[in-house]
């Protein structure tokens, strides 16, 4: 570990396609004083002869961490694309270091280069790093008239992304293919998502998307239409789900336990509320757990963690949540386990449909407090040649803070 009184031994230097000509004086000095320089092959190809050991960062990325840490205490530079901490390698590497061990000198990010090249106001564009993440994460952002700037792994990913966008009903979207921005190899080409992308795509690559098409786009309010979810009927329906999400009150960075997740709809909408949110779904049915996984992937929240098994048995050593939703499998032992394990301040929402589970909630609300309400919904339907109200099963909902 570096001495707190000494200067950091590692410097992240933001690196672009212009090589050393685009570096600041501080970055130039860091390179001149370095005893070892790490970088990807495409970075090192732009590096002139220097008086330092030059080490190519290996693939997979994690294999380079021990090599870097072995140089601890020496003067080390790591060349990182653009801004090391905006979808950059700096985030991954710094997890292994103390804050006083490193410093960073960013250069222009691909996002800023793209917005400058296209004349897009960067503060109004959505910036996504999908070079090491499932392309489906773009799904919530496919909204007409929105502008997206997406980092991608390679040309194959460009073709896959264009096909995905077209398949979701946004084939009219304009894609700006951005290759090697900021250097001599820079090239910008334009095509629609419904067209075949070029075959000769140079790395590094990004795509700026002007979204257009009939969708369907995903509403940003709680309560997605049920049609967005694959399900076997075991789903918290749209209106009840909206009321349930309102009761759960997701806030950025919070963790949800969704017990008896079914199709995963509540957990998925919890994750859609903010990209830093986390959720663990518990489901006794293997088939429904698989369905929830597919729904999470298709709707752009692939990080939903799904545990197969019956609660409370599977709650085990799971990290404690900020909120809990019980949509299925409501029992006395489950509530007793939750009250023993959950910390003070945890929000709990339970929905009951059967008379037995309703009676259980009435009993627990009487003992523990909280708010108990009955949600009764009716929809207009045909009665012979006329119309009338068709009642759905009423839901009894208990909201309580432990």
Element (H, E) at 372: strand 371-375
pLDDT surpassing 60 at residue 158: yes
pLDDT for the residue numbered 3: 45
CA-atom Rg of the chain in angstroms = 26
User: Residues 75-112: pLDDT tens digits?
Assistant: 999 999 999 999 889 999 999 999 999 999 999 999 99
> 378, 392 in Cβ contact below 8 A?
yes
Closest CA to 80 of 1, 121, 134, 23: 23
C-alpha 14 chain-centroid distance: 25
Dihedral angle at the C-alpha atoms of 352, 358, 363, 365, nearest 10 degrees? 40
pLDDT category of residue 203 using cuts at 50, 70 and 90 = confident
pLDDT for the residue numbered 68: 96
C-alpha 155 chain-centroid distance: 22
pLDDT category of residue 235 using cuts at 50, 70 and 90 = confident
- Alpha-carbon distances, residue 6 vs 3, 73, 105 (angstroms): 5, 10, 18
CA distance 349 to 248: 7
- Verify cis geometry, omega within 30 degrees of 0, for the bond prior to 204: yes
> 329, 310 in Cβ contact below 8 A?
yes
CA distance 8 to 270: 40
pLDDT category of residue 5 using cuts at 50, 70 and 90 = low
> 212, 174 in Cβ contact below 8 A?
yes
Gap between the terminal Cα atoms of the chain: 42
pLDDT for the residue numbered 173: 97
User: Residues 28-68: pLDDT tens digits?
Assistant: 999 999 999 999 998 998 898 888 999 999 999 999 999 99
Q: Fill in the DSSP letter of residue 334.
A: H
% the chain with pLDDT above 90: 84
pLDDT category of residue 260 using cuts at 50, 70 and 90 = very high
% the chain with pLDDT above 70: 99
- State the chain's mean pLDDT as an integer: 93
pLDDT surpassing 50 at residue 2: no
pLDDT for the residue numbered 391: 87
pLDDT surpassing 90 at residue 6: no
Residue 75 structure tokens: 């003067």
User: Residues 119-138: pLDDT tens digits?
Assistant: 999 999 999 999 989 999 99
CA distance 200 to 95: 36
- Verify cis geometry, omega within 30 degrees of 0, for the bond prior to 60: yes
Closest CA to 117 of 15, 42, 190: 190
User: Residues 305-323: pLDDT tens digits?
Assistant: 999 999 999 998 899 999 9
Sign of CA dihedral 260, 263, 266, 269: positive
CA distance 99 to 88: 17
pLDDT for the residue numbered 1: 39
Closest CA to 279 of 263, 294, 264: 264
> 198, 177 in Cβ contact below 8 A?
yes
């Amino acid at each position: 570990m570096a001495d707190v009184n000494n200067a950091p031994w590692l410097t992240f230097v933001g690196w672009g396609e212009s090589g050393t000509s685009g570096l600041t004086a501080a970055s130039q000095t860091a390179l001149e004083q370095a005893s070892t320089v790490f970088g990807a092959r495409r970075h090192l190809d732009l590096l002139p002869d220097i008086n330092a050991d030059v080490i190519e960062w290996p693939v997979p990325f994690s294999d380079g961490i021990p090599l870097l840490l072995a140089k601890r205490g020496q003067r080390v530079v790591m060349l990182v694309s653009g801004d090391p901490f905006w979808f950059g390698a700096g985030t991954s590497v710094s997890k292994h270091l103390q804050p006083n061990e490193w410093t960073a000198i960013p250069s222009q990010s691909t996002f800023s280069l793209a917005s400058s090249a296209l004349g897009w106001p960067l503060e109004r564009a959505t910036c996504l790093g999908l070079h090491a993440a499932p392309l489906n994460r773009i799904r919530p952002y496919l909204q007409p008239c929105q502008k997206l700037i997406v980092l991608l792994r390679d040309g194959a990913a460009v073709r896959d992304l264009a096909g995905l966008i077209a398949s979701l009903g946004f084939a009219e979207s304009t894609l700006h293919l951005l290759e090697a921005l900021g250097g001599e190899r820079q090239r910008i080409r334009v095509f629609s998502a419904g067209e075949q992308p070029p075959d000769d795509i140079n790395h590094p690559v990004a795509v700026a998307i002007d979204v257009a098409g009939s969708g369907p786009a995903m509403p940003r309010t709680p309560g997605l239409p049920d049609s967005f979810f694959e399900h076997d009927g075991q789903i918290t329906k749209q209106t009840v789900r909206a009321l349930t999400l309102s009761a759960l009150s997701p806030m950025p960075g919070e963790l949800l336990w969704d017990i008896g997740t079914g199709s995963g709809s509540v957990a998925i909408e919890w994750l859609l509320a903010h990209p830093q949110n986390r959720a663990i779904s518990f489901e006794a049915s293997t088939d429904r757990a698989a369905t929830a996984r597919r729904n999470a992937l298709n709707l752009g929240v692939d990080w939903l963690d799904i545990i197969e098994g019956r609660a409370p048995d599977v709650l085990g050593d799971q990290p404690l949540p900020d909120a809990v939703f019980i949509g299925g499998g409501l029992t006395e032992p489950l509530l007793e386990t939750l009250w023993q394990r959950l910390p003070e301040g945890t929000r709990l929402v339970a929905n009951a449909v059967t008379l037995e589970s309703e009676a259980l909630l009435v009993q627990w609300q009487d003992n523990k407090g909280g708010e108990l309400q009955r949600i009764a919904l009716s929809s207009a339907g045909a009665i012979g040649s006329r119309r009338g109200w068709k009642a759905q099963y009423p839901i009894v909902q208990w909201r309580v803070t432990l």
